[in-house]
Amino acid sequence: MKNLAVELEVIVLGREIFTDLWRLFGFKAVICEDPNNVYAIWKELISENVAVIIVEDNWFSEMPLRLRLLAERSVTPTWVQFPTLSLEGENIVAK
């Protein structure tokens, strides 16, 4: 009998500093410093072998509205937002 198990990926999407931390856990990092550029990699993100996409909440809120709404309603992959990382001395302005 063939093994029909499919290996699913967890992708970490966003700024390099955020993705580098999650890469330590073995997740696939996709660097996209500007959330407006997510259109260029959208097909990769919603491929069948992606189960979860991890993003920073501020980064996610800056995604283009159309794609953000699709992501919020998505069942597979599931988008998980984590608190935004801030570097010492970095200004984060709440929107």
Whole-model pTM?
0.83
pLDDT band at 95 (very low <50, low <70, confident <90, very high): very low
User: Can you tell me the mean pLDDT for 67-81?
Assistant: 95
- Model confidence over 29-46: pLDDT tens digits? 999 999 999 999 999 898
Rounded distance between C-alpha atoms, residue 93 and residue 38, angstroms: 22
- Residue ranges per structural domain of the chain: 9-82
| Backbone CA torsion sign across 43, 74, 19, 32 | positive
Pairing of strands 78-82, 50-56: parallel
Fold entry, domain 9-82 = Rossmann fold (3.40.50)
Nearest to 22 by CA among 34, 32, 33, 10: 10
**H helices present in the chain, as ranges:** 16-23, 42-45, 57-61, 65-73
pLDDT band at 2 (very low <50, low <70, confident <90, very high): low
User: Can you tell me the mean pLDDT for 57-65?
Assistant: 97
